[in-house]
Amino acid sequence: MNTLIQDCINSKFSKTPIWLMRQAGRYLPEFRSIREKNQDFIELCLNTKLSSEITIQPINRFGFDAAIIFSDILLVPYALGQQVNFKKNFGPDLNKFDLNILNDVKKEDFLEKLNPVYETVKETKKKLSISNKDTIGFVGAPWTLLLYMLNRKSPKEGNFTIFPKDKYINSILMKLDQFLKIHIEAQIRSGASIIQIFDSWAGLLPEKDLDYFVYKPIKSLVDFIRQRKTISICFPRNINSYKKFVDYVNPDIISIDYNVDPSIIRDTIEIPVQGGLDPKILLQNKEIVRNEVTKYLKTFDKKRYIFNLGHGVLPETNPDMIRYLVDEVRSFNGQ
């Protein structure tokens, strides 16, 4: 039997599928209670028992149509030999990047370090097996990873520089392409039915650099995923033209942010669309939530649409509002 997302892609409309970016995370008290006892975030991601439990928490509570694996995009730099720490009220803090270390990484060692993630995919798949839901694996896109690896912290305060397209940068991008494919393949083999590619910082680049840093590297991953008969979702957050991205990269599903007008997306893009709702809306009252949810559902009515947000669920979100959101999306379809 197909999942709702597969049906949606094949234009078999029954219900609008719904899942949320960062659905497994800090807004859930059941996550926070595990997190308090596990101070090392990377270690928590590599604890299969706890990670698979966290992955399933939002499914048990809200009945989402897909589970995204509890892990992080920065586990790849970690497995490539760069130390990563998550500091309270600061975010990720990475050690100095060293190309010589990266060049020495062996496939077997990389796979061994990340093996608990693949076990989490298997465990999640097992837990979902009777419920016919998708298991979503993911990677950070090469540009977003390159930025964290060289900037060594979040670029969100604007403190970063765009790199030259020289031999040095090119060799890092080539290595990322190679190891991201290894990571994608292992997640698919372990049971991931969808791979989402997060290019969270694509919007920081000027138009002229998108081809080199965003379109080409992501297309290489999307083609690889397609060859393995697996669904790809791309989230090139805040880029100016989703149309240009889709025309070049051609993923199965495009995930949009909240700054873009959804009716323009609907009128210019043919492939299935995911997301859009501003996560800050979920901090408002129910009437505002209902109006915004209805706006997205009506805009994409009779189109292939997967309900999601325009970025991750905020930690301060009340879980009752997520319950309300899910009920609203379900009832729009008449169930």
Closer to ligand 1CP by CB, 184 or 299: give it. 184
Q: Specify the amino acid at residue 14.
A: S
CB 77 within 8 A of CB 153: no
Which parts of 4-133 fold into alpha helices (H)?
A: 4-9, 29-37, 41-45, 48-62, 75-79, 99-104, 107-128
Closer to ligand 1CP by CB, 204 or 289: give it. 204
Closer to ligand 1CP by CB, 200 or 230: give it. 200
Of 115, 137, 114, 122, which Cα lies nearest the Cα of 190? Answer: 122
Burial class (CB in 10 A: 0-12, 13-18, 19+), 197: buried
Rounded to an integer, what distance in angstroms lies between the CA atom of residue 137 and that of residue 187? 6
Residues at the contact surface with ligand 1CP, assessed by CB under 6 A: 21-26, 35, 41, 68, 70-74, 86, 91-92, 138, 154, 156, 198, 200, 312
Closer to ligand 1CP by CB, 148 or 215: give it. 148
Measured from the CB of residue 70, what is the shortest distance to ligand 1CP in angstroms? 5
Closer to ligand 1CP by CB, 24 or 46: give it. 24
Task: Please state the φ and ψ torsions of residue 332, each to the nearest 5 degrees.
Answer: -60, -30
Residue nearest to ligand 1CP (CB): 154
Place of tokens 């169930």: 335
Closer to ligand 1CP by CB, 13 or 41: give it. 41
Closer to ligand 1CP by CB, 138 or 305: give it. 138
CB 218 within 8 A of CB 180: no
**HSE (CB half, 13 Å, CA atoms) of 2?**
14
Rounded to an integer, what distance in angstroms lies between the CA atom of residue 22 and that of residue 10? 26
> Could you tell me the two tokens for 273?
């669309």
Of 243, 167, 257, 253, which Cα lies nearest the Cα of 204? Answer: 257
